[in-house]
Amino acid sequence: MITINVTTRDGERQQIDGVEGSALMEMLRDAGLGVDGTCGGMCSCGSCHVYIANGAGLPAPIEDEQDMLEGMAEIVEVRPSSRLSCQILLKPEFDGLEVEIAPQF
């Protein structure tokens, strides 16, 4: 079981069950939490932007993700905890992730 704790854009708290090997973006999108995933995980839309408070154990962003986040910083708040959720493939050790949906991009 991979439980993801989500704070929506409205400040509501929800828990969703993650599926090992699936992208976090897909879990958030399919749960109707306002993540569109427009580009399907190609690091080119930014619609899957989230803040992950306890994401220190996650793999570091690849260059494409880093570039996209840097480009978004002129339009939305990008924090040190910012990630593109399409790049986070869920593993059991990610149980308990604290994910906040970032403002619409």
Coil, strand, or helix at residue 12? Answer: coil
List strand residue ranges (DSSP E) for the chain, in order.
Answer: 2-7, 13-18, 49-52, 82-84, 97-101
In angstroms, what is the minimal distance from the CB of 19 to ligand FES?
17
Residues 68-87 that bind ligand FES (CB under 6 A): 84, 86
Q: How far is CA 7 from CA 45, 66, 87, in A?
A: 21, 23, 19
Residues 15-54 that bind ligand FES (CB under 6 A): 25, 37-39, 41-48
In angstroms, what is the minimal distance from the CB of 40 to ligand FES?
6
Binding site for ligand FES (CB under 6 A): 25, 37-39, 41-48, 84, 86
